[in-house]
């Protein structure tokens, strides 16, 4: 009987547990390293994101683990509204409410990771709880055939130099506030004034000057079906100060309620019904991410080769929901490639796998994120796509199709190419679509609202 190949995975978040499970199923003897034990990973830290999988990434994840959350809330579309001004100058600009043409689901990353860790252990994986520094990593990499680093944006990421040609931003583009809340169902009456799909559609409010606010169905690790709020404040905006002032789960909830009262009063009465998940004091998070692409293969002090996965390789601004999705796609492809590779896992081979991922998903995911961040590169896209989406549901669906299949954005660069994209989606000339656009005469409000 042949001795199984060995693999080490450092970091037991979503990327690490996904890779560890995939590798043990591929026949490797796998050791997973974490500076926290299993209970602490699940209960003593905040969720680092909403881990929404849109369409195609769910298919990639299914190559690693079965669907454990079929009974949890799902989302099938996006009720989108664009606002401007504040106070007496506040105005409703445009809105659209497409179905995705796919199914999305947001699941607590702590739950996803814990379920993967449990299956990993059940299948014979080894879990070692200890902090790993660069010297430790050197020794670990020397003892294993394959070593993957999944310690996120900090930790051991410094081993992997920033790829300056692929990294567009040198500072965060948004200040973030995340909080999970409960108290609203997900049926047709929930937010029914915004969407015929009710609670099956996410709420996406955009403000021309201040940022974006997303509220979507979510599966919390303890409370189950809930709602997750993600606020994205532009630097220097009044939202940034609000989000930064949050200190605990209760101030997070109050900040969200006050935020909707002041900026999106049509929705405020519904948001006021949302309450904190008292059993989880870590159900909130503030911070900021500098979108960064790293060279995903490094060497330790003794020359051992290690590879980065997940946020350690590519850190995304969360606005377009590409972080967890990119992780699922990257890890599934890497596990498949490793399974079929008989030779050594050299720097050249691992670099080739990352280049394949960058060319098929990573680059496109970064560009879709730039589109939704309002990057000047995509000014003409926003100028044309949002008005077209307002009058053509197929165009609106195609716009959010980028979240599931970001590669479809690549090659749409010029005004003419954007117009051709609109025409193909709408099934009629883009000029005819755009000619029907008119600014909103006012958004429908919650029946309880006094706007």
Domains and CATH numbers, the chain: 6-51+108-168+291-366 (3.50.50.60), 65-107+170-289 (3.30.9.40), 373-436 (no CATH)
pLDDT one digit per residue (tens) for the chain, 451 residues: 578 999 999 999 999 999 999 999 999 999 999 999 999 999 999 998 889 999 999 999 999 999 999 999 999 999 999 999 998 899 999 999 999 999 999 999 999 999 999 999 999 999 999 999 999 999 999 999 999 999 998 879 999 999 999 999 999 999 999 999 999 999 999 999 999 999 999 999 999 999 999 999 999 999 999 999 999 999 999 999 999 999 999 999 999 999 999 999 999 999 999 999 999 999 999 999 999 999 999 999 999 999 999 999 999 999 999 999 999 999 999 999 999 999 999 999 999 999 999 999 999 999 999 999 999 999 999 999 999 999 999 999 999 999 999 999 999 999 999 999 999 999 999 999 999 999 999 999 999 886 5
Task: Look at residues 403, 446, 449 and name the one whose alpha carbon lies nearest to residue 198.
Answer: 446
Task: Look at residues 378, 441, 388, 443 and name the one whose alpha carbon lies nearest to residue 415.
Answer: 378
Q: C-alpha dihedral over 217, 219, 225, 227, to 10 degrees?
A: -40
Token couple for 31: 């050791």
For residues 327 and 251, what is the distance between their CA atoms, to the nearest angstrom?
31
pLDDT of residue 49: 86
Q: How many CB atoms lie within 10 A of CB 431?
A: 10
Strand 126-129 versus strand 297-299 pairing type = unpaired
pLDDT of residue 37: 98
pLDDT of residue 388: 98
For residues 449 and 9, what is the distance between their CA atoms, to the nearest angstrom?
51
For residues 22 and 4, what is the distance between their CA atoms, to the nearest angstrom?
15
Task: Look at residues 147, 161, 134, 112 and name the one whose alpha carbon lies nearest to residue 28.
Answer: 147
pLDDT of residue 1: 55
Mark 81-120 as b/e (b = at least 16 C-beta within 10 Å). Answer: bbbeeeeeeeebbbbbbbbbebbbbbbbbbbbbbbbbebb
Task: Look at residues 117, 448, 82, 438 and name the one whose alpha carbon lies nearest to residue 268.
Answer: 448
For residues 310 and 288, what is the distance between their CA atoms, to the nearest angstrom?
17
Task: Look at residues 352, 289, 296 and name the one whose alpha carbon lies nearest to residue 319.
Answer: 289
pLDDT of residue 2: 74
């Amino acid at each position: 009987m042949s001795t199984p190949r060995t693999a080490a995975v450092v970091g037991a978040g979503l990327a690490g547990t996904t890779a560890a499970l995939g590798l043990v199923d591929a026949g490797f003897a796998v050791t997973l390293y974490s500076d926290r034990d299993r209970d602490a990973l699940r209960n003593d830290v905040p969720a680092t994101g909403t881990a929404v999988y849109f369409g195609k990434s769910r298919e990639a994840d299914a190559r690693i683990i079965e669907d454990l959350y079929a009974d949890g809330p799902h989302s099938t579309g996006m009720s989108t509204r664009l606002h401007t001004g504040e106070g007496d100058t506040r105005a409703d600009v445009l809105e659209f409410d497409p179905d995705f043409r796919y199914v999305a689901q947001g699941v607590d990353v702590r739950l996803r990771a814990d379920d993967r860790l449990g299956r990993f252990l059940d299948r014979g994986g080894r879990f070692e709880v200890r902090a790993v520094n660069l010297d430790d990593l050197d020794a670990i990499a020397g003892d294993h055939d394959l070593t993957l680093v999944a310690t996120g944006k900090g930790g051991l990421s410094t081993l992997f130099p920033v790829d300056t040609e692929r990294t567009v931003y040198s500072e965060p583009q948004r200040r973030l506030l995340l909080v999970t809340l409960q108290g609203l169902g997900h049926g047709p009456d929930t937010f029914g004034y915004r969407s015929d799909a009710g609670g099956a559609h996410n709420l996406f409010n955009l403000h021309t000057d201040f940022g974006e606010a997303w509220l979507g169905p979510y599966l919390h690790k303890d409370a189950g079906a809930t709602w997750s709020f993600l606020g994205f404040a532009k630097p220097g905006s009044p939202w940034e100060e609000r989000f930064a002032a949050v200190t605990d789960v209760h101030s997070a909830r109050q900040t969200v309620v006050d935020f909707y009262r002041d900026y999106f009063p049509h929705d405020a009465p519904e948001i006021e019904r949302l309450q904190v998940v008292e059993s989880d004091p870590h159900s909130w998070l503030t911070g900021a991410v500098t979108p960064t692409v790293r060279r995903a293969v490094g060497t330790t002090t003794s020359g051992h080769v290690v590879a980065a996965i997940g946020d350690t390789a590519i850190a995304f601004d969360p606005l377009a929901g590409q972080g967890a999705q990119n992780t699922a796609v990257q890890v599934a492809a890497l596990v498949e490639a490793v399974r079929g590779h008989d030779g050594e896992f050299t720097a050249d081979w691992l670099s080739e796998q990352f280049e394949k991922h960058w060319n098929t998903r990573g680059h496109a995911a970064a560009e879709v994120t730039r589109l939704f961040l309002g990057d000047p590169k995509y000014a003409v896209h926003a100028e044309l796509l949002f008005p077209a989406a307002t009058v053509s549901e197929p165009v609106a669906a195609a716009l959010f199709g980028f979240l599931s299949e970001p590669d479809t954005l690549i090659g749409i660069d010029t005004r003419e190419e954007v117009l051709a994209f609109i025409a193909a989606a709408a099934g009629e000339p883009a000029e005819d679509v755009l000619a029907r656009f008119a600014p909103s005469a006012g958004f429908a409000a919650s029946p309880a609202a006094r706007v």
